Amino acid sequence: MTIIEKIRKPFDAVRSVVRFEPLETDAVARRLARCANVDDLRAVARRRLPRGVFDYIDGGAEDEVTLAGNSQAFRDVTFQPRVLRDVGVVDTTAMLLGTPLPFPLALAPTGFTRIADPAGELAVARAAARAGLPYTLSTMGTQSIEAVRAVSAGRLWFQVYVWRDRGLVADMVARAAAADYEALVITVDTAVLGRRERDVRRGFSLPPKIGLGTLVDGVLHPAWTLDLLRHEPILFANVAGSSARDGTSAVSLSEYVAAQFDPSLSWRDVEWFRSLWSGPIVIKGIQTVEDALIAADLGIEAVALSNHGGRQLDHAPTPFSLIAPVVDAIGDRVEVICDGGVRRGSDIVKAIAAGATACMAGRAYLYALGAAGERGVDRCLTMLHDDVKRTMALIGATNLTSVDRSSISGA
């Protein structure tokens, strides 16, 4: 062996088992490459966002028992996988409100989304449209009904609260209809606001008040702070455009909004919405079989079983645990959406197995947005879709109609 061969030999040995990856120069791509699931996106968002902002997204009401329970309910279920079933072709498509979608997920409404990323709702709506999924814009959105429609030719839903200022609500509903939103989502679990104690401890409010703690938080997260300073002020865009509030500051708007929650809301208000809106209605925040039955009797198209992601009443039932009893009571009169705790595609498959038509998710895409902006949301939705497909293959299901209660135990 020559001296050169002797030197080369160990290098050749290393080369035979190691491939050197080209250095990734794109910081977002580098960040995303390390995220294998939604929890990883959450961990990155936790690092990148000021703690007050992260806790606003991540936190829940009081002891956060319901927040934790929502995801735990999925973990408590095991699959009953069938094998040798030829899963060469797996079809994840489903129907929701009479229209097909690539897999059974809708993006839940989340208020003040620009706090996670300057593009906020526009970024999420674009990503949802690319994925072919419905995106629900919140009344408390920081991009307007029209601005979101301008960036998305996809399925858009608009979420409303039953506010004291019914004129303003009716106005927003008319704007959503004019902008060709597909469905109205009426959130009914907010007669009063839940007590989110992480926000109480940090003195976090919307919009954030600047105190010493906020300043330190901002300095420790310079990328987020620079983004905030470089962009338009964050406003409740749909309320800011209304005649009553035009030109007001975020602070006075938030006082106005806080005063709007109406504890006198009742089923009569749902009938009022029906008189305003000719398209499908989703009632979000149903937490008992009895209320699901009332919604069914009113001819509502879909109910979202939801405890607001554990942000309202602590010790509320988990959406997953409600699916089977609700579906058994109302049959196929109303579509049933399971909203809360979804972190993996396998959660979606479990919800379908229990009898849901689809799931909704909020934090999953917010973590992704906070971690890596619009590309993060793309990644999150792709991961969830891939999860659904892989899970179906592993339980021996080639389409979602064959996923039923025999596919799981513990529902």
Ligand X SMILES: Cc1cc2nc3c(=O)[nH]c(=O)nc-3n(C[C@H](O)[C@H](O)[C@H](O)COP(=O)(O)O)c2cc1C
Q: Judged by CB under 6 A, which stretch of 105-113, 209-217, 223-231, 236-244 contacts ligand X?
A: 105-113
> Which tokens hold the place of 127?
């990503």
- Is residue 51 a contact residue for ligand X (CB under 6 A)? no
Cα 379 to the chain's mean position, in Å? 14
The total of other beta-carbon atoms located within 10 Å of residue 18's CB is 8
Task: Using CB under 6 A, pick the residue from 155, 284, 375, 379 that binds ligand X.
Answer: 284
Q: Decide if residue 57 touches ligand X (CB under 6 A).
A: yes
Paired tokens of 104: 């059974």
Contact with ligand X (CB under 6 A): which of 52, 69, 118, 138? 138
Residue 128 beta carbon to ligand X: minimum distance, rounded to whole angstroms? 14
Q: Give me the least distance between CB of 40 and ligand X, in Å please.
A: 16
Interface with ligand X (CB under 6 A), residue from 235, 342, 354, 411: 342
CB of 39 to ligand X, least distance (A): 12
372: Cβ–Cβ under 8 A, 6 or more apart, which residues?
28, 31, 32, 35, 41, 44, 379
Q: Decide if residue 55 touches ligand X (CB under 6 A).
A: no
**Catalytic site includes residue 308:** yes
Check binding of 142 to ligand X (CB under 6 A): no
Answer for the pair 334, 292: CB distance below 8 angstroms, yes or no.
yes
Inter-residue contact 192 to 263 (CB < 8 Å): yes
Residue of 97, 122, 107 lying closest to 385 (CA atoms): 107
Residue span binding ligand X (CB under 6 A) among the ranges 163-171, 202-210, 219-227, 339-347 = 339-347
Closer of 138 and 407 to ligand X (Cβ): 138
Of residues 366 and 408, the one with the C-beta less far from ligand X: 366
Q: What type of residue sits at position 205?
A: S
Alpha carbon distance 134, 154 (integer Å): 7
Identify the residue among 92, 152, 306, 357 touching ligand X (CB under 6 A): 306
Closer Cβ to ligand X, 110 or 391, answer by number:
110
Task: Please identify the residue of the shown chain whose CB is closest to the bound ligand X.
Answer: 362
Q: Which two tokens stand for residue 239?
A: 């309320």
Which amino acid, residue 65? Answer: V
Q: Can residue 118 be called a binding residue for ligand X (CB under 6 A)?
A: no
What CA–CA distance (Å, rounded) separates 110 from 58? 12
Hey, what are 184's tokens?
Answer: 């109205």
Residues 194 and 189: their CA atoms lie apart, in Å, by 9
- Under the binding rule (CB under 6 A), the answer on residue 354 touching ligand X is no
Of 308, 292, 411, which Cα lies nearest the Cα of 350?
Answer: 411
Task: Tell me: does residue 287 bind ligand X (CB under 6 A).
Answer: no
User: Is position 318 an interface residue for ligand X (rule: CB under 6 A)?
Assistant: no
Binding test (CB under 6 A) with ligand X, winner from 32, 97, 133, 140: 140
Residue 340 binds ligand X (CB under 6 A): yes
d(Cα 168, Cα 47) in Å, to the nearest integer? Answer: 38
Catalytic residues: 308
The residues binding ligand X (CB under 6 A) are 56-57, 70, 108-111, 138, 140, 159, 187, 284, 306, 308-309, 311, 339-342, 361-364, 366
